[in-house]
A and B are shown apart, each in its own frame.
Chain A
């Protein structure tokens, strides 16, 4: 049996773990094995003699723990309004986004940048200029051509000449 195996066996036996008794007997026949056993026992005695004692008795610790648990809402007091405010902000943002999306889907003409629908009467009453009807550069959201507001007629030979 190797030294490590022997010492591992002795260590386990010391902990009252099941070991092969025959192997243990064999391990303890060697001086190193007996020395290891003595060292491990001394180590255990040293730890058992540890003089660290609790500074308070169990009752005091339990009372302190209960008092601390009761004070949690107070400790958390400043955090709770922050949490509620953060939740409200998130809800409001999400609600505004949803409302905006719904409005855009249902009435695209009402979206900023799009011309409002006009009645025929209104168009006659205040004809829009040609310039207003020309799509602005970069506007890609207008698939419908602009409604002509006035008609210009040109006479060949009068208003223009071929070859000029």
Chain B
């Protein structure tokens, strides 16, 4: 992609990347750090000139990988300040939904946020998560039902 600068790409998607990272990590400070990592990887990837494809799907895949790497690091250092309550980052979101999101499995939350925050297509999510489109469809549907039930029970 000629003329594509890392700054342009990052600025275009920064807000949604940040929201995705906050919702997945549960911590704004972690999301700040991870956002920087995402930018650095965007710089490196564009410099190396690899295939990008759909820009939004590509940058969310980067964010997802950064998040996974951080998760691996934290698993290697179990005594570190890794696991913080998800509620710290979700005080602005309707409390019920924040709780319901936190109650999802990581993979279900991931797929749901890639769709709702990232706006990725099923095909892009399936590529990012290395699963089939049918699995994405099914997981999204189940996650929505689960959230709907959690919200109904919380009322």
Contacts and interface: CB of A to CB of B under 8 A. Distances in A.
Interface of A: 4, 7-8, 11-12, 15, 17, 36, 39-40, 43-44, 46-56, 58-59, 61-62, 64-65, 68-69
A123 to B, nearest CB: 67
Interface residues of B, number: 37
13 contacts: A7-B141, A12-B140, A15-B122, A17-B122, A40-B144, A47-B97, A47-B117, A50-B117, A51-B92, A58-B10, A61-B36, A68-B40, A69-B40
Contacts of B18: 52-54
B141 A8 contact: yes
Interface majority SS on B: helix, strand, loop or mixed?
helix
Given A11-B144, A54-B14, A65 B122 contact: no
The listed residue with most B CB atoms (<10 A of its CB), out of A8, A15, A17, is A15
Nearest to B112: A47
Q: Which 4 A-B pairs have the closest CB atoms?
A: A51-B92, A65-B36, A58-B14, A11-B141
A8 B14 contact: no
Interface of B: 6-7, 10-11, 14-15, 18-19, 22-23, 28, 32, 35-37, 39-40, 89-90, 92-94, 97, 115-117, 121-122, 137-138, 140-141, 144-145, 147-148, 151
B115 to A, nearest CB: 6
Nearest to A10: B141
A54 B10 CA distance: 13
Given A11-B144, A62-B39, A17 B32 contact: no
B14 A44 contact: no
B93 A15 contact: no
B10 A11 contact: no
Contacts of A36: 148
A68 B40 CA distance: 10
A5 to B, nearest CB: 10
B36 A64 contact: yes
Contact of B93 (A12, A43, A51, A55): A51
Contacts of A56: 32
A52 B22 contact: yes
Given A8-B138, A15-B115, A17-B137, A62 B7 contact: yes
